[in-house]
Amino acid sequence: MDLTIKKTTNEMAFNIHRKPTTFDNIIPNDSCHPSEQKLAAIRYFINRIDTYDIGHAEKQRETEILKHIICNNTFHTSILSRIRNNKTKLDSENQRKRRARFTYIRKEKRRITMLFKNTNVRIEFTTSNNLGKLLSPRDAKKSETCDKNGAYQLKCPTCHKKYVGQTGVRFA
């Protein structure tokens, strides 16, 4: 939902979309929030740059925008390389780890995470009120796919990329 897709005759080009009203405010470094919360937005932006299939020039442009956001919120730009290095290290460690899933409980999250910190188990948290369960029909009979409004996903038959959207009216 935060991509701009440009279709030419031969290919499709992707760019990261920013609304004209977007501000560069994230939780500032000098706030009293826990460090996980302060760094969450930065991690999200880095992950978006590294994951999306955008061109090299766009990646550089997004990195410059991210540096601007970081500086405006009292972080030092070296945080980018620290987070990227830590992400690479964690990704290689997580490939070897087993996984354990717990129901998310706000008070206990930190304690559970700390218990498994030096083990070979990767902790994942889940909730029972995710979007899929909230949007799924409650009655037993299945309705026509195009009869309902809400969130939807379309898949391109040629490149197999997915588009997720939302509508307030019935599909035609």
Helix (H, G, I), strand (E, B) or coil at 101: strand
Report pLDDT digits (tens) over 3-27.
Answer: 788 887 887 778 888 887 878 889 9
Report pLDDT digits (tens) over 96-120.
Answer: 667 777 777 777 777 777 777 777 7
In this structure, are strands 98-103 and 121-126 parallel, antiparallel, or unpaired?
A: parallel
* Distance from C-alpha of 122 to C-alpha of 90, rounded to nearest angstrom: 10
Going by C-alpha positions, the residue among 42, 47, 43 that lies closest to residue 73 is 42
Where b means 16+ CB within 10 Å and e means fewer, 73-82 reads bebeeebbee
